[in-house]
Amino acid sequence: MKDKSLENLYKKARTGDKQALEKIIEYFNPLLCNYSIINDKFDEDCYQQLCVRLILCIKNFKVKG
């Protein structure tokens, strides 16, 4: 995914576009899954918390320029 398309998804997600938000989560899913492994096991609760945190970051993040 190009930076511009991620930026466009971000802008759409900020306005409430659920499909854009889902695509962003899908884009970052490998990273979310990687950080959800605790003691060599996938932790579903951790994954959910990371997804919630990502959504909150999208809502609060401001792009300059």
pLDDT in tens, the chain (65 residues): 556 799 899 999 999 999 999 999 999 999 999 999 999 999 999 999 999 999 999 988 877 76
Q: How do the domains of the chain map onto residue ranges?
A: 22-65
What was the pLDDT predicted at 65? 63
- Residue 28 CB burial class (10 angstroms; 0-12, 13-18, ≥19): middle
Tokens 């932790």 found at: 43
pTM: 0.82
